[in-house]
Homo-oligomer: A and B are copies of this chain.
Amino acid sequence: MKLYDFAMAPNSRRVRIFIAEKNIKVPVEQVDLLSGENLEEKYRKKNQFCLVPTLELDDGTCIDEAPAICSYLESCYPEPRLLGTTPLEIAHVQSWDRHMENQGLACVGEMFRNGFAGFKNRSLPGRDGDKAIPDLIERGRRGVEFFYEHLESRLQQSKYIAGDTYSLADITAFCAIEFATTLRMPTPEGNTKSRSWYDSVAQRPATKA
């Protein structure tokens, strides 16, 4: 197996942390999103949508989309379980992971993609020619505020995001917060549950991945 990755991309980091939690080794090849290497023919053959990450299996089969890659890895390396065990847990992890992605990662991405000069004509991942839309910086910011508010509310009721057990939803939220922090939107001071949850996740060795 090989993971096509871009070290700075939070969506790639999500998969790297997942892999590290599984305690397996997967060789990584960097695809430089900043220079547009993902849009070149060589990478397009691995991923027609020009997105990272992509997991390439030994027979050349490629799997894309972070949660789908994680689902495949969970089947191959079931322990520790990161996607739930019972049907209900599995559904809750998937649902919460989607919320953390859509409310967290996607909103930070919207702020970044529409505000960073290097992406002024590449405001959508994997695409070329989509002009940045300045109004989306503010929309993304409001989205991140909404994400923090709901995360705090959730962690007041639940040890981890999807329930009693650490899961991919925690990894995704962690990557979203890390990304938001680089854009000067760290977890608000008063969100004590979120802050202590974040500190405990940050201490996991896998988050060094």
Contacts and interface: CB of A to CB of B under 8 A. Distances in A.
Interface of A: 48-49, 57, 61, 63-65, 67-69, 71-72, 75-76, 87-88, 90-92, 94-95, 98-99, 103, 124, 127, 130, 133, 135-136, 139, 142-143, 146, 150, 153
A148 to B, nearest CB: 14
B75 A92 contact: no
A71 B90 contact: yes
Copies in the complex: 2
Contact of A72 (B76, B87, B135): B87
Nearest to A139: B130
A95 B153 CA distance: 30
A209 to B, nearest CB: 20
Contacts of A98: 65, 67-68
A77 to B, nearest CB: 11
B49 A63 contact: no
Contact of A63 (B65, B95, B139, B146): B95
Contacts of A92: 63, 68
Contacts of A99: 49, 65
